[in-house]
Structure 1
Amino acid sequence: MGSLLFVSSELQLSGPSPTLLCNPLLGTTVNQMVNEMRKAKEIGTDLVEIRLDCLRSFNPRPDLEALIKQSPLPTLVTYRPIWEGGQYEGDETKRLDALRLAMELGADYVDVELEVAYDFNNSIYGKKPDNFKVIVSSHNFHNTPSSEAIGNLLARIQATGADIAKIATTALDITDCARIFQITVHSQIPIIGIAMGERGLISRLLSPKFGGYLTYSALEADSISAPGQPTVKDLLDLYNFRLIRPDTKVYGIIGKPVSHSKSPLLFNAAFKSVGLNAVYLHFLVDDVEKFFITYSSIDFASGCSCTIPHKEAALKCMDEIDPIAKQIGAINNIVRRPDGKLVAFNTDYIGAISAIEDGLRGLNGATLAAGSPLAGKLFVVLGAGGAGKSLAYGAAQKGARVVVANRTFERAKELADKVGGKALTLNEVENFHPEEGMVLANTTSVGMKPKIDETPMPKHVLKHYCLVFDAIYTPKDTRLLREARESGAVIVYGTEMLIRQGFEQYKNFTGLPAPADLFRQLMEKHA
């Protein structure tokens, strides 16, 4: 996989994004589609795709007249056959006749498949209205071919006389999107380039950056017409799609899974609030090293957050590692310097430890004192992964006596030895309560959505702890925290760690102080 450095060097344009936002209409009746059109207009879509193959019954002339004339937005008419991923199984001549009729009745675009495009375009030669355009499309539901193969495909599409090319592939890895970006930038005709699936989400979101003609979005989460398609609301409100331009800096969170992360919500709102030309995305990454090698463009990945399970694996991809992060052995914040070098930090321990300290200071009306309230406390960490390392290291730095409990004892001992602590298995920690008033920090994924009824620690054990922290923030109020509160402990939400470590990441990304009040308001609203 090649670098995208050459892509960025050509993208020096500025100004508002020209990329259009298109809503496919999936109603099964004409009336339903008309209602969808009106809703699309209200929420800010640029055009609608009338999917004729979704209609339960279809009478070409009256139905097309009603749909095209009643649409408050420009119309793209598609009649997708089953052999190209659609629902139409009838006669091909009738299908193509309907598309020609759509042109005659005033549709702005029709979409025809590459296999029939040459004949279709010949059949309308000399009859096309001035502003009417034919999109010639190719869909690959299996993979994303090589750059050479995609280039050859685009040449075939162009040879049919297409006004606009559409190439939709399937992303088996997030790095597949690089080939879509490459072909989009270099196309000689307007192009719609999409990699379908969750790993291809960035190909849709970054269409304006790489010069895509349009991208597709769903009216609602339950009306998605292709895998990985975002909703209009997410595109406009979460990712600030209208503000993305070729010179927009790209940030994101690397993880697997990653769609649950609220970081894009926080960072995109923060960027918008101060007018920064930047966007922050979800990056579903399987192979960290492959990700950084592929997206080595300075302009593409200006910085990343890093979450489970990549906080340790990403270390080997870095050019420089902050000394504290190196000692912890895990990173969660990566900044690409102007010279292209990747520099890594760990802000997890700052966010979590400061939140726990504030919780302890408020315990029993305790007054603020010099030094950390963690000093001398027995601090039990569940989990020995990246977040566990951050908590264990941070607590030890503050003078706490650290105990690390992990499913595999070897990993617990490795971390405990590094911080001068004690190691246990998760089974053993249930019976470990040598004193009262201990502090518990869960860094495992037990209790995370969707398995919200699970807990890493039985309720009867929680009475021995004065404070319980859970790094999970989806849901905010985990079963562990609910039962700890019922047992009389002070609780500290994972959202506090997220917010506070986010302050540090924002500062590292931008050199500016984070809009703390905005972060807190958003987390409260979307908890």
Structure 2
Amino acid sequence: MEWVAPVGVKLESEGTRKNSTLICAPLMADSVDQMVKYMEKAKLSGADLVEVRLDSLKSFYPGQDIQTLIKRCPLPTLFNYRPKWEGGLYDGDENSRLNVLQLAMELGADYIDVELQVADQFNSSMLNKKPAKCKFIVSSHNYQSTPSLEELGNLVARIQAAGADIVKIATTAVDVTDVARVFQIIVHCQVRGVPTIGLVMGERGLMSRILCPKFGGYLTFGSLESGKVSAPGQPTIDDLVNLYNFRQIGPDTKVFGVIGKPVSHSKSPALYNEAFKRVGFNGVYLHFLVDSVANFLQTYSSVDFVGFSIGIPHKEAAVMCCNEVDPVAKSIGAVNCIIRNSSDRKFFGYNTDYVGAITAIENALRGLNHTSGSLPSPLADKLFVVTGAGGAGKALAYGAKQKGARVVIANRTYDRAKELADTVGGDALSLADLDGFHPEDGMILANTTSIGMQPKIDETPINKEALTPYTLVFDAVYTPKITRLLREAEESGSKIVSGTEMFVGQAYEQFERFTGLPAPKELFRKIMARY
């Protein structure tokens, strides 16, 4: 079935837009005047239509207010009067609520949304008088989970049987793999010519809202402002259009992303998506909140899911998920980049962390000593203290040892510190003992833990008084750019290197592995300078 733009929706020229999936701005306001202001803002933000949430209005005079909203809206309108029993705010008489939606339809609404539970009742009351212009969305919301594929298929059949012009299902992601079932339903519906809105709520469901154009979703929702959402996990219109290049996503768009827990703090999507756009590469890069890397990779087995950055705490577990691991990554025992081979779908694991971090630390030390990049490394024979024994800690310890440094591992759990120290040929101590550890001056400190990362920005792995013996302090955390550790280290006279340097350095190789193109290094630095 060929897609036709709804009445009143003007799409950008074919050269600037690769999909027909609409962006709808859900509007929740106390008054009609405020709702009209939001309508203007939605148009300026780039929305294709607005969802008028009548249940959010504090005072409401249906005949007068609906006519005003339709007349003054610069975009097509979707009217929704969501009851509390379906996650909305309306708590009044059901017949009155349905009469209001019927009135909106008669007065010129482009769409109305009615819940599956009352769709038959609504249809009966209309007596086949629905205006041809208005599209009837029948919706179902599950705020607890995402049902099985079979259950979702049966749900779609019930919604269609209720007379829907457009099917809408919204579920909740308990795990990121839940989204795959909704994608399957959307594709199945598209093949059958059934316009479908399929969204998965919550942070784990974010990709459903961004990748719906790839799978043929009818529309997605984007809020006007961050935090002011009508459903959990909703991105802003600005993020959809400008961060994720939503208009450019099509069936053949390659999918990349950062796998982590937590992961929303990562600036990787901002970096890669702008770079993809600048070089003309047809890809999109997302946040993936993942509990099990193995389950994620097994579920998203399509060749279009082709490359992943691996973040905390999955770098060590990712090694076991790869069919082949680069010798350096194998020696480190941690992977921060996975590439899927397009021909045989095998996963290849790499580690680019150690190159980015060690290079940044060496460059900073050379600047202190006014030396060039000639051998030996300025790390040679330095006492190099690594806090954390996870994937990033292993990478830094390995890199420092390769450069001739004497390595000490400090970790919350001493046994893990000892295990890593024995592997690289170094010493170990518990993180609690680090404050009293100062055998010599001129030491290097590299924090690879998440201590001090947003939102816990007041934390630090070591007291300020214990920082004096360190010539240089590096922090792998880059949100915020200057952590408490770095701020106090600089105040104590140490040279500091932020995690941004490591982030940018390791991203060069990842970009090239993702795209097969040279990394736009200057562009990367300009992008990260904004944060």
Q: Is the 8 A contact 1:333 1:346 kept in 2?
A: yes
* Letter of the structure 2 residue corresponding to residue 247 of structure 1: D
Residue 377 of structure 1, CA deviation? 1.0
* Letter of the structure 2 residue corresponding to residue 469 of structure 1: F
How many Å separate the matches in 1 of 2:287 and 2:149?
24
How many Å separate the matches in 1 of 2:373 and 2:120?
77
How many Å separate the matches in 1 of 2:28 and 2:170?
19
User: Which of these residues, 487, 493, 517, is aligned with residue 492 of structure 2?
Assistant: 487
- SS of equivalent residue, structure 2 residue 226: coil
Partner of 1:40: 42
Q: Is the 8 A contact 1:404 1:416 kept in 2?
A: yes
Q: Does 1:237 align with 2:239?
A: no
Partner of 2:307: 303
Residue 290 of structure 1, CA deviation? 1.1
- SS of equivalent residue, structure 2 residue 436: coil
Residue 83 of structure 1, CA deviation? 1.0
User: Which of these residues, 272, 277, 289, is aligned with residue 277 of structure 2?
Assistant: 272
Partner of 1:174: 176
Partner of 1:454: 459
Q: Is the 8 A contact 1:255 1:310 kept in 2?
A: yes
Q: Is the 8 A contact 1:199 1:283 kept in 2?
A: yes
Q: Which protein, 1 or 2, shows the higher relative CO under an 8 Å CA cutoff with sep ≥ 6?
A: 1
Q: Does 1:22 align with 2:24?
A: yes
- SS of equivalent residue, structure 2 residue 389: coil
* Letter of the structure 2 residue corresponding to residue 112 of structure 1: V
Equivalence map 1:38-117=2 (5 Å): 38-117=40-119
Residue 198 of structure 1, CA deviation? 0.7
How many Å separate the matches in 1 of 2:287 and 2:410?
31
User: Which of these residues, 275, 278, 283, is aligned with residue 288 of structure 2?
Assistant: 283
- SS of equivalent residue, structure 1 residue 61: helix
How many Å separate the matches in 1 of 2:90 and 2:379?
66
Residue 128 of structure 1, CA deviation? 2.6
Partner of 2:474: 469
Query: Cα deviations across residues 202-242 of structure 1 (Å, max 9, x unaligned)?
Result: 11111101100000111111320001111111111111111
Partner of 1:11: none
- SS of equivalent residue, structure 1 residue 454: coil
How many Å separate the matches in 1 of 2:90 and 2:458?
44
Q: Does 1:121 align with 2:126?
A: no
How many Å separate the matches in 2 of 1:51 and 1:434?
65
Q: Does 1:322 align with 2:326?
A: yes
Residue 86 of structure 1, CA deviation? 0.8
- SS of equivalent residue, structure 1 residue 525: coil
How many Å separate the matches in 1 of 2:374 and 2:23?
56
- SS of equivalent residue, structure 2 residue 529: helix
User: Which of these residues, 225, 240, 251, is aligned with residue 230 of structure 2?
Assistant: 225
- SS of equivalent residue, structure 1 residue 491: strand
Equivalence map 1:364-379=2 (5 Å): 364-379=369-384
* Letter of the structure 1 residue corresponding to residue 188 of structure 2: H
Residue 100 of structure 1, CA deviation? 1.1
Partner of 1:433: 438
* Structure 1 stretch displaced more, 253-262 or 409-418: 409-418
Q: Is the 8 A contact 1:384 1:404 kept in 2?
A: yes
Partner of 2:251: 246
- SS of equivalent residue, structure 1 residue 501: helix
Partner of 1:4: none
- SS of equivalent residue, structure 1 residue 69: helix
Aligned CA-pair RMSD: 1.2
For structure 2, which runs of at least 5 residues remain unmatched after alignment? 1-15
Partner of 1:8: none
Residue 163 of structure 1, CA deviation? 0.2
* TM-score (ref. length: structure 1): 0.95
- SS of equivalent residue, structure 2 residue 177: helix
How many Å separate the matches in 1 of 2:480 and 2:444?
21
- SS of equivalent residue, structure 1 residue 415: helix
How many Å separate the matches in 2 of 1:103 and 1:142?
31
* Letter of the structure 2 residue corresponding to residue 71 of structure 1: C
For structure 1, which runs of at least 5 residues remain unmatched after alignment? 1-13
- SS of equivalent residue, structure 2 residue 429: strand
* Letter of the structure 2 residue corresponding to residue 316 of structure 1: M
Q: 1:453 to 1:15 in 2, by over 3 A?
A: closer
Q: Is the 8 A contact 1:330 1:389 kept in 2?
A: yes
Q: Is the 8 A contact 2:17 2:248 kept in 1?
A: no
How many Å separate the matches in 2 of 1:27 and 1:19?
25
Q: 1:222 to 1:368 in 2, by over 3 A?
A: closer
* Structure 1 stretch displaced more, 127-136 or 373-382: 127-136
Q: Is the 8 A contact 1:239 1:264 kept in 2?
A: yes
* Letter of the structure 2 residue corresponding to residue 113 of structure 1: E
How many Å separate the matches in 2 of 1:110 and 1:369?
69
Residue 404 of structure 1, CA deviation? 0.8
Query: Cα deviations across residues 399-428 of structure 1 (Å, max 9, x unaligned)?
Result: 111111111111111111111111111122
Residue 115 of structure 1, CA deviation? 1.2
- SS of equivalent residue, structure 2 residue 474: strand
Partner of 1:154: 156
Q: Does 1:394 align with 2:395?
A: no
Partner of 2:8: none
* Structure 1 stretch displaced more, 253-262 or 361-370: 361-370
Residue 125 of structure 1, CA deviation? 5.0
* TM-score (ref. length: structure 2): 0.95
Number of residue pairs aligned between Structure 1 and Structure 2: 512
Partner of 2:136: 134
- SS of equivalent residue, structure 1 residue 354: helix
- SS of equivalent residue, structure 2 residue 155: helix
Q: Is the 8 A contact 1:194 1:204 kept in 2?
A: yes
Residue 75 of structure 1, CA deviation? 0.2
Partner of 2:11: none
* Structure 1 stretch displaced more, 510-519 or 462-471: 510-519
Partner of 1:419: 424
* Letter of the structure 1 residue corresponding to residue 82 of structure 2: R
Residue 15 of structure 1, CA deviation? 7.2
Q: Is the 8 A contact 1:447 1:479 kept in 2?
A: yes
Q: Is the 8 A contact 1:15 1:245 kept in 2?
A: no
How many Å separate the matches in 2 of 1:420 and 1:35?
65
How many Å separate the matches in 2 of 1:409 and 1:94?
66
Residue 367 of structure 1, CA deviation? 3.9
